[in-house]
Amino acid sequence: MKVNVQDNNILPPFSSGIWQSWTPRLEIAPIFDKRLECNETLLIISSEDSFQAYGAWYCEIHGVLDGTSYEIMADYETKQVDYESVSVNVIVTWMDQSGKWLGRGYIDTYEITEDGLTRLKKRLDPPTGSRSVKIELEFRWSQGGSVTFRQVSLRPVEAARSRKVKLVTTYVNPNGDHRSDLSANLQELLNTLELAGHEQPDLVCLSETLYDRSSGYSVEEIAQTLNGEVVKAICQKAKEIQAYVVFNLYEKDGFCLYNTSLLIDRSGEIVGLYRKVHLPLFEAQDGITPGSDYPVFATDFGIIGLLICWDQSFVESARCLRMKGAEILCISTAGESKIQQIARAVDNGMYVVVAGINGDMVDDGSGKWVCNPRSKPSRIINPNGDILGEIGPDDSKVLGVEINLNAKFMEYWMSVGPTFGEKRSLFARERRPDTYS
């Protein structure tokens, strides 16, 4: 399906002389071509055999309406391009009346059209004072490759509504009286969810394997099936509080044992399952089997990714979730990794919800390493790396924070030059997976 270019498309057709070619240096100029095909003009850039080739077709349009939202769509196809995310970009630059840059960034949302073209698409909100816009259709760093841009449109659309989401993280004391037996552990989880329900949450995250925090049981004795009584009880409570719940447990599936996080929806149904990929040595030697994928899950408010404890120490895990579209990352954990949690939020432009148990380890003065009783291991972090709230042993069992998933986090001189850019887009688009072999 081709872009539906209607009269309200403010960009000129490709046949117009307003579209010009550009290269930073003649020595690395690619080959530019305009081609007529079935009464449509196409814009083509090819590199021949030069990896260094770098160039773009661009146009500048005046008369941008301040306070109006726009949607951009660009359809293209490539030949002999190994990494489209590296080599093909659409860049939008907003300018004021004098031509000063006000904001700049990549179009980073993909979809595949019915006729097999790649479409870059995004809703845009021009910075205050915008009067003109520059659109760049860029091709770079692909030896022997080419890109054909078939259509591009920029149209006024209805402004995006704020996406308010109430996130709740939890803290359950690992040394409480409820740790005496498994039934008490389950009741403590249900009580915590009941308390979380008072926050009218959209999403509640529980810590890692809380059900098994009793002495005297092996992992195999603790492990639960997905249709077992423990999971049923948590699902019922999620239904009662009408919230999505992230619940972590040791899962038994046939003869295999997994460290598993479930996403349960507002109606009490399991709608997501993630099995811990990165296992610490003690879990591997307990006979736990690792997972092998990083799924993301659509909810009625956004897209969620799940990680478990040791996973957060490996940058690829959160990155895979981000590249699949995750907006919120929930980490159920037993240990502490505050600096890495902040890094995962900043690196990927995601909100991070951490439900922890143990804080950082400290020397008690006698040479014995113990958990710092003043630690607050559960927290909520925004995409800028700001901690929006933390809780620990001296606080309530739940912490609720309302966020807006449509909020922007702009910074000056973030890659794009002397203007404002957003890290969540820049870090995703300027990766070099072609070098990560």
DSSP letters spanning 56-118: EEEEEEE---TT-EEEEEEEEEEES-S-HHHHEEEEEEEE-TT--EEEEEE---EEE-TTS-E
Q: How far apart are CA 348 and CA 327, in angstroms?
A: 9
Q: Which residue has the higher pLDDT, 384 or 372?
A: 384
Mean pLDDT of 408-432: 92
- Distances from the Cα of 394 to the Cα of 191, 193, 204, 426, angstroms: 18, 18, 20, 39
pLDDT (tens digit per residue) in 143-169: 999 999 999 999 999 888 889 999 999
- Strands 303-308 and 328-332 come out as parallel
pLDDT (tens digit per residue) in 216-233: 678 888 899 999 999 999
pLDDT given at position 2: 38
Residue 48 in this model has a pLDDT that exceeds 80:
yes
* pTM of the model as a whole: 0.91
pLDDT given at position 179: 62
DSSP 191: H
CATH of the domain spanning 164-404: 3.60.110.10
Average model confidence (pLDDT) for the chain?
A: 92
DSSP conformation letters of 279-308: --HHHHTTTBPP-----EEE-SS-EEEEEE
Residue 177 in this model has a pLDDT that exceeds 80:
no
Instruction: Output the six-digit token pair for 372.
Output: 């710092």
Q: Which of 84-93, 107-116, 411-420 has the lowest mean pLDDT?
A: 107-116
Q: How far apart are CA 362 and CA 46, in angstroms?
A: 58
Which residues have CB under 8 Å from 232's CB, separation 6+?
A: none
Residue 6 in this model has a pLDDT that exceeds 70:
no
Q: Are 239 and 268 in contact (CB under 8 A)?
A: yes
Mean pLDDT of 361-366: 74
Fold of 20-159+410-435: Jelly Rolls (2.60.120)
Q: In the structure, what pLDDT confidence band is assigned to residue 335 with cuts at 50, 70 and 90?
A: confident
pLDDT given at position 404: 97
Three-class DSSP category at 4? coil
Which among 234, 192, 133, 212 has a CA at the least distance from the CA of 400? 192
Find the helix or strand (DSSP H, E) in which 390 lies: strand 387-391
pLDDT given at position 298: 98
Mean pLDDT of 167-186: 81
Residue 180 in this model has a pLDDT that exceeds 80:
no
pLDDT given at position 213: 61
**Alpha-carbon dihedral angle through residues 211, 186, 242, 277, given to the nearest 10 degrees:** 10
HEC letters along 199-263: CCCCEEECCCCHHHCCCCCCHHHHCECCCCHHHHHHHHHHHHHCCEEEEEEEEEECCEEEEEEEE
Mean pLDDT of 34-54: 94
Q: Which residue has the higher pLDDT, 179 or 137?
A: 137
Q: Are 139 and 45 in contact (CB under 8 A)?
A: yes
Percent of the chain topping pLDDT 90: 80
Q: Where are the domains of the chain?
A: 20-159+410-435, 164-404
DSSP conformation letters of 127-172: PTT--EEEEEEEEES-TT-EEEEEEEEEEEEPPPPP-EEEEEEE--
C-alpha gyration radius of the chain: 25
Q: Are 168 and 201 in contact (CB under 8 A)?
A: yes
Mean pLDDT of 96-122: 94
Q: Are 311 and 279 in contact (CB under 8 A)?
A: no
pLDDT given at position 161: 85
Residue 236 in this model has a pLDDT that exceeds 80:
yes
